[in-house]
């Protein structure tokens, strides 16, 4: 952030980051005071400059107010003073928003007149939920101090949105929390449906503490919409609902157990330098991904210590604000990942106020200064405790941390509801995602190189991995004699939204001894080439390539053919990656025998960048292929055997 208002570091209490609660408060104050610069005269709308969302500029102004309040609420709840009068400022803005004829009005009529609906859902439902969530966090400091008329007006506006039906995904929790807050404050919600919505949402539980963000597809075992929404919406809003509503003790304890499981597994997805996993949509919310970890800490569940939780969270906030400059220099957080705007990674529902949802990442400030979160000395987070591999069976992911990065092999989540009709998304389509790489977008997404195995036609057009039709993980699956640390999936390659006739791909990832072994059983019709790309390395300068090794500003990748591949190359792009202007991905190619299922095997290494030249990594595995059977023998004696054609029948 390069802001002189940051206090001195404390390397005794916080030996890893130097950051204390005072640093968090300083960043929160800075963000809130910056937000005021973009407020309307009455303070009821906050609209930073930038591309409007699909819902329109009025909705964007409501969004900026409600989402920045997510930063103010825990800050007010957890500290004794309010030197910048955040409570008074937001109370005055809320009064302007609720004035029925004022220029800042949020009244129900504007839902028809001035807010466009995208995808058939009114965006203010989300902002009503953000307001209710924040008011529940700082009820004493804000809600209880509003005059009765303003409370009545606000309650009426909230109830109007609580009775609506949004999308069948995390939106169900938005209306549930609005209703729960109002009932806890003594207001009725005519037409409310919170209980049935939460019941439905919890039926999408996958395991390991994770939820599918919508109905589980009947064509896949695990469902296919898993991402950071588990942390920045699903768990914090479920926790808030359980806090505000009366539920049986057994059900409450079941949820808290899931929350603890989630926090412990989710903590594995952050690298030691504070870099989070780059995967999924709405990534412009940035440190909001800390919300689920803070929630578990506030609830007192999970196996991590308070010192380890704070170390992880401070590392992430420092990574975004100091290293990347997000919110620095008096600028609002941009529609992007770093300080600069990068619209290709954003969705149509994201407007200039959307990034303020990062305020969910300040939720830990609701714990007072004498809480263990702020008084215990920092301890190493999971990625600092040595290399490890963890399989999330319910999610279909294998997580590996080591060499300064964290990566996943993704064999379940593609955000495609129906594989027969859905379209792909680069932020879900890759087999591999990591904390230090991002998928190619724009021209790179069209080319279809990084993170995928594709069929390429005679004109150079690549198929897409648009709908996974089956997932397998771990032990006990037909055709496998492997141990833990592997996942598999299958799909039909598609081009232009249509299956390529006769084409099929079965893929397996094994993460072990510092590398990812990828094997593919590919069936292709005549006239196609098979191509597999590794991670895209991006940075401010052109990545350096040597053979199939690529070095960037921070990371390097090495791709090694082990069986079936006959060619290789480097794909380079400009302006097509959120992590840098220049990007490059190594790839392998082969000419398949038409109609004959063929096995292709490769090894992928990803780690912190070494000096330019061959990456000094030994590939600790040998493979033998006979027909559709793959046997991998590792340097430590492990042996994996997969009959790829029998994994999914």
pLDDT at 474: 83
- Going by pLDDT thresholds of 50, 70 and 90, the confidence category of residue 483 is low
Band the pLDDT of 416: cuts 50, 70, 90.
Answer: confident
- Please determine, for residue 111, whether its predicted confidence score (pLDDT) is greater than 60: no
**Once rounded to an integer, what is the mean pLDDT over residues 575-602?**
97
Following DSSP, what letter does each residue of 129-198 receive, concatenated? HHHHHHHHHTTTTTGGGS-HHHHHHHHHHHHHHHTS---SSTHHHHHHHHHHHHHHTT---TT--HHHHH
CATH number of 21-338+345-375: 1.50.10
318 has which bridge partners? none
Residue 610: the pLDDT is 61
**According to the model, what pLDDT value does residue 329 have?**
87
**Domain assignments of the chain as residue spans, ordered by start:** 21-338+345-375, 388-646
The rounded radius of gyration (Å) of the Cα atoms in the chain is: 25
CB 157 within 8 A of CB 146: no
Q: Compute the average pLDDT of residues 175-191.
A: 97
E strand or H helix at 66: helix 57-78
Query: Is the confidence at residue 431, as pLDDT, over 60?
Result: yes
pLDDT of residue 116: 54
368 and 81 Cβ atoms separated by less than 8 Å:
no
The whole-number average pLDDT for the span 520-540 is: 97
Per the CB < 8 A criterion, the answer to whether 158 and 188 are in contact is no
Amino acid 419: pLDDT: 74
CA 554 to chain centre: 21
Phi-psi category of residue 491: left, alpha or beta, with phi > 0 → left and psi -120 to 50 → alpha: beta
Rounded CA separation 417/469 (Å): 11
Quick one: pLDDT at residue 205? 96
Please, what's the b/e burial string for 268-291 (b: 16 or more CB within 10 A of its CB; e: otherwise)? bbbbbbbbbbbbbbbbbbbbbbbb
Question: Given a cut of 70, is residue 114 above it in pLDDT?
Answer: no
Q: 23-82, pLDDT tens digit by residue?
A: 999 999 999 999 999 999 999 999 999 999 988 899 999 999 999 999 999 999 999 999
| Partners of 585 in beta bridges | 571
For residue 583, how many other CB atoms are within 10 A of its CB? Answer: 29
Q: Is the pLDDT of residue 198 over 60?
A: yes
pLDDT band (50, 70, 90) for residue 109: very low
Does residue 113 surpass a pLDDT of 80? Answer: no
Instruction: For residues 109-134, give the mean pLDDT.
Output: 72
Mean pLDDT value of segment 534-550: 96
Q: Provide mean pLDDT across the span 500-525.
A: 97
Residue closest to 120 by CA, chosen among 54, 59, 178: 54
- Residues 110-117 have a mean pLDDT of 47
The number of angstroms, rounded, from the C-alpha of 179 to the middle of its chain's C-alpha atoms is: 27
How deeply is 595 buried, as exposed, middle or buried, from its count of CB atoms within 10 A (0-12, 13-18, 19+)?
exposed
Q: What pLDDT shows up at residue 112?
A: 37
Rounded CA-CA distance 633/626 in Å is 14
pLDDT for 319:
97
Strands (E), 384-473: 388-392, 397-402, 405-410, 432-434, 453-456, 468-473
What does the pLDDT read at residue 453? Answer: 97
Confidence of residue 482 (pLDDT cuts 50, 70, 90): low
Average pLDDT over residues 602-612: 82
CA distances from 111 to 43, 221, 277 (A): 20, 39, 36
Question: What sign does the CA torsion over 511, 513, 516, 519 have?
Answer: negative
Q: From 137, 109, 126, select the one nearest 161 (Cα to Cα).
A: 126
| C-beta neighbour count of 636 within 10 angstroms | 9
What number is the average pLDDT over the span 85-109? 91
Average pLDDT over residues 606-625: 78
User: What's the fold here for domain 388-646?
Assistant: Beta-galactosidase; Chain A, domain 5 (2.70.98)
How far apart are the C-alpha atoms of 355 and 283, rounded to whole Å? 9
Burial class (CB in 10 A: 0-12, 13-18, 19+), 65: buried
The pLDDT, as a whole number, for residue 11 is: 98
Q: What is the number of other CB atoms lying within 10 angstroms of the CB of residue 320? A: 26
Buried b (16+ CB within 10 A) or exposed e, 353-388: bbbbbbbbbbbbbbbeeebebbebebbbbbbeeeee
For residue 534, the Cα-to-chain-centroid distance in whole angstroms is: 21
Q: Per mean pLDDT, which range of 1-10, 370-379, 514-523 is the poorest? A: 1-10
**pLDDT value for 220:** 58
Of 285, 289, 283, 286, nearest to 269 by C-alpha is 289
The yes-or-no verdict on residue 615 having pLDDT over 90 is no
């Amino acid at each position: 952030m390069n802001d002189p208002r940051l206090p001195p570091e404390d390397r005794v209490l916080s030996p890893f980051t130097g950051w204390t609660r005072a640093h968090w408060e300083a960043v929160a104050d800075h963000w809130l005071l910056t937000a005021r610069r973009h407020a309307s005269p009455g303070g009821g709308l906050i609209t930073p400059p930038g591309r409007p969302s699909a819902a329109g500029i009025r909705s964007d102004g409501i969004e900026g107010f409600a989402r920045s309040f997510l930063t103010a609420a825990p800050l007010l709840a957890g500290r004794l003073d309010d030197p910048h009068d955040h409570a008074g400022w937001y109370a005055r803005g809320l009064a302007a928003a609720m004035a029925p004829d004022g220029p800042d009005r949020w009244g129900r009529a504007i839902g028809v007149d001035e807010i466009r609906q995208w995808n058939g859902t009114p965006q203010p439902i989300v902002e009503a939920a953000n307001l209710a969530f924040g008011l529940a966090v700082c009820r004493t400091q804000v809600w209880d101090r509003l005059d009765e008329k303003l409370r009545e007006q606000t309650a009426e506006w909230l109830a109007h949105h609580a009775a609506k039906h949004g999308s069948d995904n995390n939106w169900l929790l938005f209306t549930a929390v609005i209703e729960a807050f109002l009932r806890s404050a003594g207001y009725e919600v005519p037409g409310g449906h919170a209980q049935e919505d939460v019941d439905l949402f919890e039926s999408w539980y996958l395991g390991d503490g994770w939820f599918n963000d919508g109905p589980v597809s009947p064509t896949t075992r695990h469902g296919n919409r898993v991402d950071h929404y588990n942390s920045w919406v699903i768990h914090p809003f479920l926790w808030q609902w359980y806090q505000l509503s009366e539920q049986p003790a057994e059900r409450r304890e079941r949820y808290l157990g899931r929350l603890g499981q989630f926090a412990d597994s989710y903590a594995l997805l952050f690298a030691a330098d504070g870099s989070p996993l780059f995967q999924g949509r709405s990534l412009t919310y940035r440190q909001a991904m800390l919300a689920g970890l803070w929630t578990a800490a506030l609830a007192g569940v999970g196996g991590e210590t308070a010192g380890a939780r704070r170390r992880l969270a401070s590392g992430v906030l420092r990574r975004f604000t100091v290293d990347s400059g997000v919110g620095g220099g008096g600028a609002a957080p941009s529609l992007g990942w770093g300080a600069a705007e990068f619209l290709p990674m954003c969705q149509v529902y994201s407007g200039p106020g959307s990034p303020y949802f990062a305020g969910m990442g300040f939720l830990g400030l609701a714990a007072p200064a004498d809480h263990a979160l702020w008084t215990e000395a920092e301890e190493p987070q999971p990625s600092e405790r040595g290399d490890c591999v963890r399989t999330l069976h319910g999610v279909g992911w294998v997580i590996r941390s080591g060499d300064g990065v964290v990566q996943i092999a993704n064999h379940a989540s593609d955000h495609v509801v129906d594989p027969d009709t859905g379209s792909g998304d680069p932020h879900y389509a890759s087999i591999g995602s990591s904390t230090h790489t991002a998928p190619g977008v724009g021209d790179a997404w069209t080319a279809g190189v990084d993170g995928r195995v594709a069929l390429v036609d005679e004109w150079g057009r690549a198929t897409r991995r648009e709908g996974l039709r089956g997932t397998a993980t771990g032990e006990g699956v037909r055709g496998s004699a492997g141990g833990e640390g592997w996942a598999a999936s299958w799909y039909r390659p598609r081009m232009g939204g249509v299956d390529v006739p006769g084409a099929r791909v079965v893929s397996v990832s094994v993460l072990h001894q510092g590398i990812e072994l990828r094997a593919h059983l590919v069936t292709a019709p005549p006239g196609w080439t098979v191509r597999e790309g590794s991670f895209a390395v991006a940075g401010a300068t052109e990545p350096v390539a040597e053979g199939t090794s690529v070095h960037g500003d921070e990371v390097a990748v090495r791709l090694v053919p082990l069986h079936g591949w006959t060619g290789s190359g480097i794909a380079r792009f400009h302006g097509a990656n959120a992590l840098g202007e220049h990007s490059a991905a190594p790839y392998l190619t082969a000419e398949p025998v038409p109609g004959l299922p063929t096995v292709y095997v490769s090894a992928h290494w990803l780690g912190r960048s070494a000096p330019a030249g061959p990456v000094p990594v030994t590939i600790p595995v040998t493979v033998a292929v006979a027909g559709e059977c793959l046997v991998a023998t590792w340097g430590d004696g492990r042996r994996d055997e997969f009959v790829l054609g029998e994994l999914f029948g």
